[in-house]
Amino acid sequence: MRFRTRAFLLCFAPFALLLTGSFWTIQKLVQSTVRDGLRTSLRENHLSIARLHSRSDLQNSRFLKVVGENASLKAGLQLLASYPADAAARQTVEDQLQELCAQMGFDVLMISNTAGTPLAGVIRSGGHLVPLAGLAHIPHRGLMTESDKVYQMASIPIDQGEENLGELSVGERFDFSEFNTPAVLIRNGRVLQSSLADMALPEVQSALSGCLGPGECDIRISGNNYISLPLQSISLGDGYLLRSLQNVDSATGPVQSVLNRVFLTASIGIVLAALMCSVFSSRSIVQPIAMMIAHLRRTDGTGILPEFPEELSSIREIQDLTASFNQAAGAIREARQNLQHAYVEFIGSLASALDARDPYTAGHSHRVSNLSCATAAALGVAADELEEIRIGALLHDIGKIGISDSVLRKAGRLTEEEFAVIKQHPEIGRRILEGVHGFAPYLAAVEFHHENWDGSGYPRGQSGEHTPVAARIIHVSDAYDAMTTDRPYRRGMSHREAIRVLREFAGRHFDPRIVDVFTSLPGSAETAETPNNAPNNAGNADLQTPAFVAAGPV
């Protein structure tokens, strides 16, 4: 991953995480607030129902007292209590109950003896009042289930003076209409009724399977979330439990919709601001580093560490980095200069050691180097290539270290066998230098400085521009120095004669362009600082070729 991308993510990611976390927190706070409001609303609704129920009980008790004072009903109750198996007595009481039930609009009306055993009763079924039979027990207060219908019951004793004749019970169909929220009636874990629209009881039963206790719980029905509270302010009788429900999604939906719109608008603005800040921040961090990298890449070819300007960046850490880098680069440049100086001194010492093997070769390598540098400069070669030519010329005869003194220092003309040995010195020189990495730029000059323009040279027989320019320049300078220096068996040529030979063999042994430049140099002999009578036998290998023999300088 690129540093700019990483810097951008490190700047932008916290904004995005903070925004996401804030929205999630706000959502949870809204949901929590709405849920608390729903709980409060349900509890207040329960209290309202309890007050309504209390007033209804009071009103029902007044009706019951009026009914309980009915003389005919008391007489019938006394008769039925005395003869419980008498069908006529039961029929008489049932007729009285039907008349009273029709007048007062109750759904159930029933009398029982002092032991609580039902004696007679009527119930509304299909719009008509019919006798009620088969009940073993009537609750004094609360709910009663009959034929899958639920009734809310209330009772009052029937007294004759100080004597209790029995009990009168009245009931009405349990109605969810008094609840302004959905409700579910449960008995012993089984859902009896539900006011949830378009929801079957089995579905409600399944949703409430983990929420049948007396506590608050959360349920999910048909993809909607509900909060459920039990109605505990009213006694419903043994095993009955009424739970009111409130749809959390419908309550939070409008708020959530507004919140989403607000958050979307705010998030777009915040994200754009965060994006701009992140881009600017990452750019301010990465740009100075990118400039440093680009500056370093521009110096790849030189291998020299650059020095960065102090105003590269206004960031303190970047300034410290550039200052430290500049100090390190300065130290490395100084060490490189010291190493280069030692390296040059070593090259000079190596060339001097080679020339010192024989007093006749003294100064040959330095003179060839000076002549080659002058020629290369006149040709307009680059500074770094000029340095390679200078050192390559100093080392061009380094392979003669591997030639025996009997051949190398022979005073007379070399035999063909001895000349074949001498011709090995370019390859010997290459093998000596190629083991050292720092000498790699000079290998071509050392190996190919005896290659001729027409391909008649050695060791490879290369022709024309296949031979590197450094080797071609050294070839001309080497031949000139060999011809103009004395040997034990002959005097060196004059400058004029040597120039004539070079021009004669231009295009055959030598690059004609290089010969033209060399011969036009002001005072070639003086440039090489070669005394005409200096003893030198190094030219044996350079001059003992058929061309030079034919030209007569030998």
Please write the tens of the pLDDT for every residue from 438-478: 788 889 999 999 999 999 999 999 999 999 999 999 999 99
Given a cut of 70, is residue 507 above it in pLDDT?
Answer: yes
Bond before 131 cis per omega within 30 degrees: no
Please write the tens of the pLDDT for every residue from 165-214: 888 888 888 776 666 778 888 787 788 878 777 788 888 888 877 776 67
Neighbours of 76 (CB within 10 A): 23
Q: Are 543 and 501 in contact (CB under 8 A)?
A: no
For 82, what's the count of Cα atoms within 13 Å in the CB-facing half-sphere?
A: 7
Q: pTM for this one?
A: 0.45
CATH dotted code for 59-177: 3.30.450.20
Instruction: Output the 3-class SS for 239-274.
Output: CEEEEEEEEHHHHHHHHHHHHHHHHHHHHHHHHHHH
Q: What is the pLDDT of residue 464?
A: 93
Dihedral over Cα of 210, 216, 222, 225: its sign:
negative
Please write the tens of the pLDDT for every residue from 214-249: 777 888 888 788 877 787 666 677 777 877 787 777
* 3-state SS, residue 343: helix
* 3-state SS, residue 228: strand
Owner of token pair 């490189």: 336
What letter would DSSP give residue 487?
Answer: B
Please write the tens of the pLDDT for every residue from 467-483: 999 999 999 999 999 89
Intra-chain end-to-end CA distance of the chain, in Å: 71
Selected residue with higher pLDDT from 495 and 288: 495
Given a cut of 60, is residue 431 above it in pLDDT?
Answer: yes
Which contiguous run of DSSP H or E holds residue 156? strand 149-160
Given a cut of 50, is residue 534 above it in pLDDT?
Answer: no
| Cα gap 97→121, rounded to integer Å | 7
Query: What's the average model confidence in pLDDT over 485-508?
Result: 86
Given a cut of 60, is residue 550 above it in pLDDT?
Answer: no
Closest CA to 282 of 4, 2, 15: 4
Q: Are 388 and 466 in contact (CB under 8 A)?
A: no
Q: For the CA atoms of 132, 135, 139, 144, what is the dihedral angle to 10 degrees?
A: -70
| Cα gap 140→113, rounded to integer Å | 13
| Cα gap 266→356, rounded to integer Å | 88
Please state, for a pLDDT cut of 90, what percent of the chain lies above it: 16
Given a cut of 70, is residue 375 above it in pLDDT?
Answer: yes
Q: Residue 491 burial (CB < 10 Å; 0-12/13-18/19+)?
A: exposed
If you average pLDDT over every residue of the chain, what do you get?
Answer: 77
Given a cut of 50, is residue 417 above it in pLDDT?
Answer: yes
- Domain 356-551 belongs in CATH node 1.10.3210.10: yes
| Cα gap 202→205, rounded to integer Å | 5
The domain ranges of the chain are: 59-177, 356-551
Given a cut of 80, is residue 261 above it in pLDDT?
Answer: no
Please state, for a pLDDT cut of 70, what percent of the chain lies above it: 74
* 3-state SS, residue 221: strand
Query: What's the average model confidence in pLDDT over 40-66?
Result: 65
Most confident of 36-45, 77-86, 247-256: 77-86
Please write the tens of the pLDDT for every residue from 323-344: 787 788 788 778 877 876 777 6
CA distances from 471 to 182, 208, 439, 446, 466 (A): 105, 100, 15, 7, 10
Query: What's the average model confidence in pLDDT over 540-547?
Result: 41
Q: What is the pLDDT of residue 517?
A: 94
Given a cut of 60, is residue 544 above it in pLDDT?
Answer: no
Q: What is the pLDDT of residue 11?
A: 66
Amino acid at the residue 505: F
Q: What is the pLDDT of residue 282?
A: 66
| Cα gap 46→491, rounded to integer Å | 136
